[in-house]
Amino acid sequence: MSYISQTTRPYFDKEIEALAQAVAKNTRDSVEDYSVVRTMEYVVTKLLCRIIKIKFGTISYRAIASFLGVLETTKQEFYRRVAVPFEDKQKGINGDVYGELLS
């Protein structure tokens, strides 16, 4: 994952915090109703579209490929850093469901 410099982060962090607050304030508390999920899909999609429009003016194969790469590497990093430790913790609590296959 490509990390931006410590000096650049505060500008984006301020804007991200405002966006996160808006999402949290305008969605229901229950994950089961998908309110947060649908809102996040909208926010990410709209952000990608606006950046492409502002930076490049129009869609191109290069923009599509680049942004798909961003989404994929972001997904993989989130899985590696957040989901895997969570799953490992749950495995410790509840037992390994794959035990018979991995023995």
Q: 29-54, pLDDT tens digit by residue?
A: 776 667 888 999 999 999 999 999 99
- CA pair distance 2, 79, nearest whole angstrom: 16
Average pLDDT over residues 83-102: 92
Q: Is the pLDDT of residue 103 over 80?
A: no
Domain ranges of the chain: 9-58, 60-93
What is the structure's pLDDT at 1?
58
Distance of CA 69 to the CA centre of its chain: 13
Q: How confident is the model at residue 13 (pLDDT cuts 50, 70, 90)?
A: very high
Geometric angle at alpha carbon 23, from 42 and 9, rounded to 5°? 95
Query: Which residue, chain included where needed, has tokens 């899985």?
Result: 79
Long-range contacts of 38-46 (CB under 8 A, 24+ apart): 43/19, 44/71
